[in-house]
Structure 1
Amino acid sequence: MIDIEVNKELIGSNGKMNLDIKLNINEGDFIALTGLSGSGKTTLLRILAGLEQSKSKIKVDNKIWQDNKKFLPPQQREIGFVFQDYALFTNMSVKQNLLYVNKDEKLANHLLELTELSQLENRNVTSLSGGQKQRVSLCRALMNRPKLLLMDEPLSALDPSMRTKLQDEILTLHREFKTTTIMVSHDPSEIYRLSNRVIVLQDAKIIKDGNAKDVLLKTSGSAKFSFEGELLDIVKVDVIYIAIISIGQQLVEVVLSEEETINLQIGSKVRVSTKAFSPNISN
């Protein structure tokens, strides 16, 4: 069990705000941490890792990591941290990056085999692709068999097919090592596939906490699907209007009546939903 009480003043886009988080996390949970940029997600990870000072209480399996009298430095906390930018030692090979953390060569070989990196173990990390580098970063984070694995948008820079492959590998490693994991992500499909619990932050506060379906599914009533996107343009074609909307990595067109265009603004976030075969959009 991990008990967390975090309190820290932050400067957000709207000025000062107080990161005020109280959480109880079960051993072996996979937590997806999501929310708008600037809501405090990365700061929370850094506080848990001991990389940032705060007025917080953190207890892991009845061991105090931090309170008003005690503060364990990062190297004494049983954590692994996977950064978005890999943070690898560029003067070392793949295997050397792992053994720098822990000289357990058997564990290093096992992790490299699980992530299909064995044939690259002697390659310098600078010669690897983005997906390979992130695999090395993940393996290195697990070399000390951490009680808590922290990941800050580890797959956001990768293409969709590579993201899916690494999601599978992350889930395999999470289950084998039985590590409690907290991952920052904005990708709904990634959150759904990996997590058993989703926590949404807004203005440094928890606004939602539940499983992925309950937190992320936004259809209601008889709506068959519902997606959020950005309204890029509204084009008049004869007597109808066509809205061009960016949803994920795709553009979609939705036919509107003149009345439906009145309250829509270019650049605004909209929701596209449908009942049967008649889609409609709204702010």
Structure 2
Amino acid sequence: MDGIEFRIRKTLTGRGGRFPFRAAGRFAHGRVSGFAGPSGSGKTTLLRTLAGLEKPDAGEISFGGETWFSSGNRRSVPAWKRSAGLVFQDYALFPHLSVLGNARFGAVDREAAEEALELVGLADLRSRRPRELSGGQRQRAALARALAARPRVLLLDEPFSALDEELRARLADELGNLLARIGITAVLVSHLRSDLERLCSSVATAAEAERLFDEAPPARESRSSIPLRIVEAKSLYVG
């Protein structure tokens, strides 16, 4: 099965004003791929467009041969139909809901939510509110909520950035083992080399994705997405 393929263009606004974000590439099916770049390089924008929370100005996105977005064909599959789970950088947990309540939000059913909590080791804390959790536990609760929807794709937006180095390393190792066990297609964006090394089998940079966008021929002449040049995580220096 094909992985995630994309070729997108979107105008963003930063501290220096408006600027174009352009990216093209492919993330492999059933593997954890990394997307690296400094703050403001469009990493979060890429994840949000893949998830369907934002629309590109132009381009195409597909997964497993299914078109999720095509400006040329005026097609845009809504987020809830893409089966893509997104773990936000700030976790975005609902403070008034319990751990189980958060997991059930968007879950296939209660059983799926319970299974997700078991998977991340929070079954015994299902009744607690987010304010009663440690930073690592909140990160796991956010992961459980994403997994409870039983997504085909898991998108991770700097999931360890709020944690100290020791806890970040431990949770990254745990997450890596979990993702390997369930075999889900996942994309991790980060500016930290350590996170990318621990979790990703391959890493692409925002600069490389932009170069490929500029080099890619128009969609009417060939496939709109081309593979990113893979950079081994151990040789990647970012941040």
Common topology (TM > 0.5): yes
Pick aligned residue for 1:115 from 108, 120, 126? 120
The equivalent of 1:135 in structure 2 is 140
Q: Are the equivalent residues in 2 in contact too, given 1:17–1:204 (CA < 8 A)?
A: no
Change (3 A) 1:164 1:145: same
Structure having the larger proportion of residues in helix: 2
2:97 to 85, 92, 97: 92
User: One-letter code of the match for 2:126?
Assistant: E
Q: Report whether the alignment pairs 1:200 with 2:205.
A: yes
Map of 1:49 onto structure 2: 51
Identify the match of residue 156 of structure 2 among 130, 151, 160.
Answer: 151
Cα deviations by residue, 1:157-216 (Å, 9 ceiling, x for unpaired): 111221122112211221222211111112212211110111112498258742212333
Between structures 1 and 2, the one with greater strand share? 1
More relative contact order, 1 or 2 (CA 8 Å, 6+ apart): 2
Counterpart among 35, 41, 44 of residue 37 in structure 2:
35
The residue that corresponds to 1:75 in the other structure is 80
Contact 1:36 1:202 in 2 (8 A): no
2:131 to 126, 131, 152: 126
Structure 1 or 2, whichever has the larger Rg, is 1
| 1:16 Cα offset (Å) | 4.2
TM-superposition CA deviations, 1:237-269 (whole Å, max 9, x none): xxxxxxxxxxxxxxxxxxxxxxxxxxxxxxxxx
Q: CA deviation at 1:88?
A: 0.9
Note the 1:114-263 alignment, pairs <5 A. Answer: 114-202=119-207, 205=210, 209-216=230-237
Partner Cα separation in structure 2 for residue 17 and residue 203 of structure 1: 17
Q: Call closer, same or farther: CA 1:73–1:167 in 2, change over 3 Å.
A: same
Task: Give the TM-score of the pair, scaled to structure 1.
Answer: 0.71
Query: What's 1:26 paired with?
Result: 28
Q: Unaligned regions of 5+ residues in structure 2, if any?
A: 213-228
Aligned length: 218
Distance 2:13 2:97 in 1: 37
| Range with bigger deviation, 48-57 or 196-205 | 196-205
Name the structure 1 match of 2:11. Answer: 9
Q: Would the aligned equivalents of 1:39 and 1:204 in 2 still touch at CA under 8 Å?
A: no
CA–CA distance in structure 2, aligned partners of residues 92 and 52 of structure 1? 26
Whole-angstrom CA distance in 2 between matches of 1:50 and 1:42: 12
Deviation at 1:15, TM superposition (A): 4.7
Mapped to 2, the partners of 1:48 and 1:216 lie a distance apart of 25
CA deviation map 1:52-77 (0-9, x unaligned): 12112011111111102111111111
DSSP 3-state at the match of 1:156:
coil
Paired residue for 2:62?
A: 59
Distance, in Å, in 2 between the alignment partners of 1:192 and 1:38 is 21
Segment drifting more, 108-117 vs 31-40: 108-117
Q: CA RMSD in A?
A: 2.2
Cα gap change, 1:206/1:188 in structure 2, threshold over 3 Å: closer, same or farther?
farther
